[in-house]
Amino acid sequence: MLKPVDFDRTLILTSPHYYALLVTISKDNKVNVMGLSWFMFTSFSPLLIAISVGNTRHTYKNLKEIPEFSLCFPKPEIAEKAIQCGMFSGKYMDKLSELKLETIKSEKITPPVIKESIVAYECEVMDSFATGDHSIFIGKIKNCLGDIDAYEHIYVKDGYSTTVSIRYDIK
């Protein structure tokens, strides 16, 4: 039966949620990676993806400097490291080197992609606007990468606090 609940409870009830790694670069070429659940596809033609980034994030600053990002869906092998990218800020640490996350060069944008991904989108920011304490960045997908032999990636559950990997059997 439906009854009033607080917002945090709705996040638990609607688990699991997508979890991706958003990779950006600063104007002095420092790569940063943060955890992100708030994204959506917004157009087929052109192919567009919208991400919501908190205005205080180090990632926000990077996106304003270099308007490009890769959005990478991590494999279970790096679940632990991936979740730490959503807990620590690039303002205070170099997450890639401290967490030993490997990247590979992107084909169409400056920020790299996370090597242990099932899918990665290389995007160029076309537009952005503030929405409360976050901002929406609209990315034009310039390149899609996928590991066609992989079938499992991670999601977050219970109010974004823990990860779960879900297997998808491709027919």
Ligand X SMILES: Cc1cc2nc3c(=O)[nH]c(=O)nc-3n(C[C@H](O)[C@H](O)[C@H](O)COP(=O)(O)O)c2cc1C
- Residue whose tokens read 């030993």: 100
Residues 108-147, mask of contacts with ligand X (x by CB under 6 A): --------------------------x-------------
Q: Which stretch binds ligand X (CB under 6 A): 4-12, 55-63, 66-74, 124-132?
A: 55-63
Least CB distance from residue 89 to ligand X, whole Å? 3
Residue 18 near residue 11 (C-beta atoms within 8 A): no
* Shorter beta-carbon distance to ligand X: residue 89 or 110: 89
Task: Determine the Cα–Cα distance for residues 115 and 75; give it in Å rounded to an integer.
Answer: 9
Q: Which stretch binds ligand X (CB under 6 A): 46-54, 68-76, 112-120, 138-146?
A: 46-54
DSSP secondary structure code for residue 78 in this structure: G
Task: Determine the Cα–Cα distance for residues 70 and 21; give it in Å rounded to an integer.
Answer: 8
Is residue 32 involved in binding ligand X (CB under 6 A)? Answer: yes
Could you tell me which of 9, 167, 13 has the C-alpha nearest to residue 75?
167
Task: Determine the Cα–Cα distance for residues 15 and 155; give it in Å rounded to an integer.
Answer: 9
Is residue 52 involved in binding ligand X (CB under 6 A)? Answer: yes
The angle subtended at Cα 158 by Cα 154 and Cα 139, nearest 5°, is: 50
Is residue 35 involved in binding ligand X (CB under 6 A)? Answer: yes
* Shorter beta-carbon distance to ligand X: residue 40 or 107: 40
Is residue 18 involved in binding ligand X (CB under 6 A)? Answer: no
Alpha helix (H) residue ranges in 33-139: 58-65, 79-84, 95-98
* Shorter beta-carbon distance to ligand X: residue 19 or 109: 19
Q: Which residues bind ligand X (CB under 6 A)?
A: 19, 32, 34-38, 52-54, 57-59, 83, 86-91, 134, 156, 160
